């Protein structure tokens, strides 16, 4: 919590990447969050884990007596949509679970930064095919997060 508070005093956005299991650190971070992103592949296993996270968010919202906005972020997606992905997306929509309008597409560039280091902005055509598409994708997701925050966070609208 101290790290989150000091970062929030310095920076307009603080992103805390946590493991997907319910523990005290996750609960504390959720309690402080302006937005909780639930990364999810289009698989039943991820959907089940996402449901557990949503329950933790609901408990923390009740404990802190405030709404904690959240949204699903589909990750490692493909142009081809399998039946399982379509079913999960439809089930989430039917249940009123917010889904970000942008997705993190499965791209070699996102894997390459783990091997090469740096950021996607550092990758060139010699490192991966079409790094520009990965940059556009990441920027679209970032813009979707900012738009979501603007629509769901009370205060200065940042």
Task: Supply the CATH number for residue 106's domain.
Answer: 3.40.50.300
* Domain with 66 in it: 2-152
pLDDT at position 157, please? 40
**Can you read off the two tokens belonging to residue 142?**
């970032």
Query: Over its length of 158 residues, how does the chain's per-residue pLDDT go in tens digits?
Result: 788 888 889 988 788 877 766 677 788 888 888 889 999 998 999 999 999 889 989 999 999 899 999 999 999 998 888 899 999 999 999 999 999 999 999 999 999 998 999 999 999 989 999 999 999 999 999 999 999 988 876 544 43
Output helix, strand, coil percentages for the chain, rounded to the nearest 5.
55, 10, 35
| pLDDT computed for residue 154 by the predictor | 55
* CA atoms 20, 41, 114, 36: torsion sign: negative
Q: Are strands 104-105 and 36-40 parallel, antiparallel or unpaired?
A: unpaired
CB atoms within 10 A of CB 35: 18
Residue 158 covered by a domain = no
Question: Model-level pTM?
Answer: 0.85
Does a structural domain hold residue 157? no
Q: Kindly provide the residue ranges of all beta strands, DSSP E only, lying in the chain, ordered along the sequence.
A: 36-40, 70-77, 104-105
Q: Give the per-residue pLDDT at 30.
A: 87
Q: How many domains does the chain divide into?
A: 1
Q: Report if residue 59 sits inside a domain.
A: yes
Q: How many whole angstroms from its chain centre is CA 118?
A: 20
Q: Are 125 and 116 in contact (CB under 8 A)?
A: no
Query: What gap in Å lies between CA 51 and CA 92, rounded to an integer?
Result: 10
Determine whether 21 is exposed, middle or buried from the number of CB atoms within 10 Å of its CB (0-12, 13-18, 19+).
exposed
User: Tell me, what's the pLDDT at 158?
Assistant: 38
The answer to the question of residue 63 being in a domain is yes
Question: Which among 113, 131, 96, 106 has a CA at the least distance from the CA of 39?
Answer: 106
Q: Sort residue 157 into left (φ over 0), alpha (ψ -120 to 50) or beta.
A: left
pLDDT at 88: 95
């Amino acid at each position: 919590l101290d790290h989150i508070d000091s970062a929030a005093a310095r920076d307009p956005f603080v992103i805390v990447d946590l493991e997907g299991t319910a523990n005290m650190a996750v609960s504390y971070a959720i309690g402080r969050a302006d937005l909780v992103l639930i990364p999810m592949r289009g698989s039943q296993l991820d959907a089940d884990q996402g449901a557990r996270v949503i329950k933790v968010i609901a408990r923390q919202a009740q404990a802190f007596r405030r709404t904690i906005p959240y949204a699903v972020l589909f990750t490692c997606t493909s142009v081809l949509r399998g039946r399982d992905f379509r079913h999960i997306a439809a089930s989430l929509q039917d249940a009123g679970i917010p889904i970000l309008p942008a997705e993190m597409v499965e791209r070699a560039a996102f894997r390459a930064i783990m091997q090469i280091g740096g950021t996607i902005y550092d990758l060139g055509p010699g490192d991966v095919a079409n790094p520009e598409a990965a940059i556009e994708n990441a920027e679209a997701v970032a813009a979707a997060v900012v738009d979501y925050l603007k629509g769901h966070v009370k205060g200065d609208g940042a």
